[in-house]
Amino acid sequence: MNADAQLLAALAGVVGAPNVLSAAGDLAPYVNDWRGRYSGRACAVVRPGSAAEVAEVVRRCAAAGVPLVPQGGNTGLCGGATPADDGRAVLISLSRLQRIRAVDPDNNTLVAEAGCTLAAVHEAAERVGRLFPLSLAAEGSCQIGGNLSTNAGGVHVLRYGNMRELTLGLEVVLPDGRLWDGLRGLRKDNTGYDLKQLFIGAEGTLGIITAAVLKLFPLPRAQAVAWVATADPATAVSLLGFLRDRLGERLSAFELIGRAALDLVLEHIPGARPPLAEVPEWSVLIELGDPDAGVRLDELLEQALADALEAGLIADAVVAASLAQRAALWALRENASEAQKIEGVSIKHDIAVPVGRIPVFLERAGEALRQVWPGVRIVAFGHLGDGNLHYNLSHGREAENTAFIARGGEVNRIVHDLVDALGGSISAEHGIGQLKRGELQRYKSAVELDMMRALKQALDPQGLMNPGKVL
C-alpha cells in the first residue's frame, strides 16, 4: 500500500469508510467552486461526524504531512474552499457536524456545530422566539463554519454587525490536532487575547472551526419593506442619514441596486417584475424591524418616505403591502448574484469605503474605466449602509468579454487603487481565498503582512492548513 492509500485507510478507520470519498464522480461537487471559476483536485474528501473525529483526521494528516482544505457549503466566492491542482490535499467537509448543541434564551445564545446551514440556525433561533440576524442569499447552503471563516456580512450588518460581532465563543481543531474548547457564552471576558477572532475570517488557514456560540436577538415580529427610486448614490447616502435619524435601530437593511443589476435580474430570474412604474437608475431596498408586533412599521415607513419625497431624497417608492410582496422585493435584490452568473463571466469586486465616499468611488471608478473601455458594463449593488458594494464588470459580447476578462489585472488596478486611496478595503465580506492573494500583498502594509505571517507560522508551522489561500 502506498502512503496515500495507507492514510486513507486510517482515515476510513476514524470516520467510517462511506465517509471517505475518492472516486472522481464523488469528488466533483467538492473540487469545483460555486462561480465555476476554480477547480482543483483532492486525494480524498473526508466527512467526519464529530469534533473528536475532525481532531483525529487533522492529527493523522499532520503526522503524514498531508495538507487539509476545510469546506462548508462551498458557496464562497474567492476559491478559498477549492484545493490546489496537485491533488495532494485531503478535503475535509464539515457538513455532517449538524447539531444545534444548545439554545439558551436567557443568555440569548445558541451553540451550533460548524456544518449547520445558516437557514437551520435561523430556524433553531426562531423556535425559541429569537433571531440570528446574519442573512445572505446563500443561506440555504452556506454553513456556520464557512460563515465564521469568511467573517460573512450580508444584508443586516447595518443593524447587527458581521460574523465577528455575532460570535461569543468557538471550538477549533488546531493544525496539530488539538481541540480548543473556547465555547464560552460571555459578553464580558477580559482574560488576555481574544483568540476566537484569530480564527474568524482566517478562511481555514489557522485551524478548523467545529462549533460556535452565537448571539441571538429579539425576533422582529413587525417588519416593513420598501423599494425606492433615488436620483443618484449621493442622494441615497443622504436618504440613509435621514432614515437613521427618523427610525434609529429599526432600520435593519439599506441596499443599493444600480440599474444594470436590476435589469439582469428582470431578464434572467423567472417571475421577477419591475418594482416601480419605471426602472430606476438607482434603487434602494429598505427594511425595518421591531420586536413589538403591534407597531405599524409600514405606516411609519410610508410617512418617513413621504417626507423624504418632499425633501427631494427620493423620486418614487413602493411599500410592500403583503408578505408575498416583501419577498418579491427582496428577491429582486437577492438574485443579483444569481442573475449575473446566468449572464456570464465578469470581473468581480467586493469593496468597502467609508459610507460617505461611495458616491465618489462610483463616479471616479466609472470615469476611469470608461476611458479605457468605453461601453464597459458596470453592475453595482450591495450593502450601502455598510459602505460595501459589489462592483462587477463585463464588456461586450462573448469574444470581446473574454479579452476584457483577460485584462483583469489592469481592471483591478484601477478599482483597487481608487479604493485604497479612499481609505477602503479590497475585500469587504467575501475574503481573500485564492482570488485576491496578490491584491492582499499589494495593499496590506508590510507590518500587517509580517504579523499575519508570524501568526500563521506560530499556529501552523508545517503550512498544512488550506495552503495557497490568503497568504
- Max Cα separation, the chain? 78
Q: Which is nearer to ligand FAD, 147 or 252 (CB)?
A: 147
Smallest Cα–Cα separation from 74: which of 31, 111, 133?
Answer: 31
Rounded Cα distance between 405 and 403, Å, is 6
Rounded Cα distance between 444 and 166, Å, is 26
Q: Which is nearer to ligand FAD, 153 or 233 (CB)?
A: 153
Torsion of CA 94, 100, 102, 106, to 10 degrees: 120
Strand locations in 161-279 (E): 167-173, 179-182, 208-215, 217-218, 222-230, 251-258
Nearest distance from C-beta of residue 179 to ligand FAD, angstroms: 13
Rounded Cα distance between 42 and 24, Å, is 9
Q: Which three cell numbers stand for residue 189?
A: 471576558
Name 93's bridge partners: 71
Provide the CB-side half-sphere exposure for 311 (13 A, CA).
14
Q: Which is nearer to ligand FAD, 235 or 337 (CB)?
A: 337
Q: Which is nearer to ligand FAD, 69 or 285 (CB)?
A: 69
Rounded Cα distance between 200 and 214, Å, is 13
- Stated length of the chain: 471
Name 173's bridge partners: 179, 208
Answer yes or no: are the C-beta atoms of 138 and 160 closer than 8 Å: no
Q: Which is nearer to ligand FAD, 142 or 365 (CB)?
A: 142
Smallest Cα–Cα separation from 335: which of 391, 262, 396, 441?
Answer: 262
Smallest Cα–Cα separation from 207: which of 240, 181, 242, 246?
Answer: 181
Nearest distance from C-beta of residue 77 to ligand FAD, angstroms: 5
Rounded Cα distance between 355 and 110, Å, is 32
Nearest distance from C-beta of residue 70 to ligand FAD, angstroms: 4
Q: Which is nearer to ligand FAD, 172 or 239 (CB)?
A: 172
* Enclosing H/E stretch for 309: helix 297-310
Q: Which amino acid is at 127?
A: R
Nearest distance from C-beta of residue 399 to ligand FAD, angstroms: 27
Name the residue with the smallest CB distance to ligand FAD. 146
Binding site for ligand FAD (CB under 6 A): 34, 69-77, 80-81, 94, 114, 136-138, 142-143, 145-147, 149-150, 152-154, 203-204, 208-209, 337-338, 429-430, 433, 466, 469
Nearest distance from C-beta of residue 429 to ligand FAD, angstroms: 4
280 burial (CB, 10 Å; 0-12 / 13-18 / 19+) is buried
Grouping H, G, I as helix, E, B as strand and the rest as coil, residue 186 is coil
Nearest distance from C-beta of residue 107 to ligand FAD, angstroms: 23
Nearest distance from C-beta of residue 4 to ligand FAD, angstroms: 21
Answer yes or no: are the C-beta atoms of 347 and 392 closer than 8 Å: yes
Residue 230: phi, psi to the nearest 5?
-130, 155
Q: Which is nearer to ligand FAD, 83 or 359 (CB)?
A: 83
